[in-house]
Copies of this chain bind each other. A is one copy, B any other.
């Protein structure tokens, strides 16, 4: 809150003629726009703005209008009167005004406005007399009472509507414009009675009192609940405050030569270059919003009022040229005379954003850097994924087909047959049937099912659960943590909101909204017609950015997608994802059981043999997987992470097996099967951990069971040899996960190098490679200088780092407490989505500094979920990382975000001024530096 002392008390009010658009902090976005248009000589009705300073003073004074304000308002009204040639509160030639809120940052629909202010019974009579149009006068009075009663006195708006609709019903008409004078007169009386009954108060007759109360009401609306929540949600400062615009009324509802409308300077859906909009004849602005009449397409205006249309087109062109941005313009025509009431940057679809930005740059209206900044990186997802049709969604809801509302874990929509386990999903998909995999939660064991599914639904886990992370990586829709959904794989059904869906039935998942529907809800496949524009924009982004953009991919197919999306390397290839599929999984289990057996009894020759055999067979699979990826990436770097997850993730589920054992034991029939299962259960019990995230995983596996990493590294070496022999280049980078101590890294480096050396000695091959560390534990960051002694690169695993820095389990946090934390604003953001700069970021900075201290040319990347988040990318750019790696489908957004970061950083250092978020926000409202 600014100190009221600092405010210039002589200037609570600024007339449209003396402001301009650089003053939006003081005048609000709308006020600054009106002032700017006035100074451009556009036909704006006369008016003035009560400043945001006044609003802040009002709030600071505990809801008292600041001293001196009303006298200045009165003086300004006098100026208005002389411009308009009418007189406020004078029944003979009455001036009516609108009182509109106008915040610095646009908060559409959040705050209040009163139109037609200054009317009372006597003034209405005067208007009727002067215009010869009694119906018009009554209509104005009715509109005023409705808005004032609602906004200033707090009467529920619906109750006014009921009265109007009742009269329409009685009159047999569909629209208030068709009510005759009698009925309108009745409505006015009924409104007055409603207000009096509901509030015990009356609408003041005195226009000056009306004005003062309306100004106060607009100020109050700054802190109404929905406005506060909106600002919280969008991260807008509560100190910005709202201005109030008082404008002479012009009447779109005066007659058939009058109308009101909105238009965009380009098509906000496609971005194409033509005026786009709609209007309503004989109406005021709120009639369009209310949707009670159907407005006509703007193209009809050319026929109806050709002069007006020409002037409007001309003004639209001038405003776009002036603001260098797509404009959303409100206008009113009063008896053939055009007035512009507002202009602002227009909302647009992702597709339009891209096309408009590219076109404007081509037209020379904006620079390429500006074009890049005009497109929000987050929007790009919409361009690349199928989405549920909005109208179909509404219909499906209305039909009661919504069975669950979970977390929007991975965007996009898909329809398919329900499969409750990965194997069924694979079977069905093999028959060409589209499936949706539905599980209580997923684990790496389910990945082969996820690979073939169209979409995924889980009843447990947050937006950073296994299901969500894998789905995003695969670019598949996912709804996670649909907690009220009962999922019973054992009995083959899911149930929610009273609806039961069984095996073989169809559902639709919308990962953009978190909804799950029974049956089909149609979705739109991505409209790639604007692809040319997108790819040009992304080329510009590539030229602008410094940060490399790599992708996470675990197989050749994903690597190809990554490449198509513009990835410059693979920043994370999770070898464990190659361990799934039924043949492989049984080998992995054999490997685990024998390695575990050996760790208990190192001299068991049988176990030794079984381990050797399973590793040898797995090595073949891994080698061929690496060959695929290296072939695709042809010379680009590929970071391969050695085995990371706790081993029990590869084993059958403990609880399920326990159930089987108890069942068999209780029945007492099949003793052989019982004995087998019991023995497996006891091994699973040994493998179980209280906190697997903090357990035997990552490099701890590599150090405890050296054979496993040796096998993986041999597979890499063999794949490199094979692909190199075909004349391709290969740049393998071997990454050791979950390092906490320099000595872990030193030991493993030694072991891995000696394995590769042995391979080279045996085969005569020459293999170039790097070995590096995944920095995902606080201790690794704090001792990065020691780790860098054995690591040629670091890749920050920000998911795990966030887990340990906060002590938040990624799998549990969202459902258990993080939702509450975000709702109650204990945390500003979900740290698994937007990097926590104070904590996690601080450790990254430490690690970057220490790592470079030991090894100045160390390569630094990041491969956590944050690698695809624009705000986090900005931080990574600022911290001087070399690249980010994200899911293939997020690569375009990351390229754009990286460009944004570079452009913003350059402009901040160029202007040499710290970024002022308020004025930046203010500029953003109109996308303009005017």
Contact = CB atoms under 8 A, between A and B. Distances in A.
Given A703-B826, A839-B778, A690 B693 contact: yes
Contacts of A803: 694
A820 B702 CA distance: 12
A842 interface: yes
B691 A692 contact: yes
Nearest to A747: B826
A692 B694 contact: no
Contacts of A820: 703-704
A779 B808 CA distance: 11
A777 B805 contact: yes
Given A666-B666, A694-B693, A839 B782 contact: yes
Contacts of A812: 689-692, 694-696
Contacts of A141: none
Contact of A811 (B691, B777, B842): B691
Interface stretch (A174-182, A407-415, A657-665): A657-665
* Identical copies in the complex: 2
Interface in A738-794: 738, 740-741, 743-744, 747, 776-779, 782-783, 786
Interface string A801-818: 001111111011100110
A655 interface: yes
A86 B357 CA distance: 106
A152 interface: no
Nearest to A700: B817
A162 interface: no
Interface in A519-572: none
Interface in A806-856: 806-809, 811-813, 816-817, 820-821, 824-827, 836, 838-840, 842-843
Given A804-B807, A820-B703, A778 B843 contact: yes
Interface in A638-692: 655, 658-659, 662-663, 666-667, 689-692
Contacts of A704: 816-817, 820
Contacts of A267: none
A381 interface: no
Interface in A498-524: none
A421 interface: no
A446 interface: no
A807 B777 CA distance: 6
A800 interface: yes
A813 B738 CA distance: 14
A658 B663 CA distance: 11
B827 A741 contact: yes
B694 A738 contact: no
Given A655-B658, A689-B816, A741-B826, A782 B805 contact: yes
Given A666-B662, A778-B839, A838-B783, A695 B827 contact: no
Contact of A744 (B692, B744, B779, B826): B826
Contacts of A804: 694, 778, 804-805, 807
Contacts of A741: 806, 826-827
A703 B840 CA distance: 23
Interface in A205-236: none
Given A659-B658, A696-B816, A839-B782, A690 B809 contact: yes
Contacts of A740: 805-808, 839
A667 B700 CA distance: 44
A449 B812 CA distance: 31
A818 to B, nearest CB: 9
A783 B843 CA distance: 11
Contacts of A842: 782
A290 to B, nearest CB: 34
Interface string A472-504: 000000000000000000000000000000000
Interface in A314-371: none
A842 B692 CA distance: 26
Given A693-B690, A778-B778, A811-B690, A703 B838 contact: no
Given A778-B805, A838-B782, A694 B691 contact: yes
A744 B824 CA distance: 10
Contacts of A777: 805-807
A663 B668 CA distance: 11
A811 B782 CA distance: 24
A778 B826 CA distance: 18
A743 B690 contact: no
Given A662-B663, A703-B817, A826-B744, A809 B839 contact: no
Contact of A659 (B662, B811, B813): B662
A609 B662 CA distance: 38
Interface in A903-921: none
Given A694-B804, A740-B807, 11 more contacts: A662-B666, A689-B809, A690-B809, A695-B809, A740-B808, A743-B827, A777-B807, A779-B839, A782-B805, A786-B838, A800-B807
Closest 5 interchain pairs by CB? A694-B809, A691-B809, A779-B839, A696-B816, A666-B666
9 contacts: A689-B811, A693-B807, A693-B809, A694-B803, A695-B816, A738-B807, A740-B807, A741-B826, A743-B827
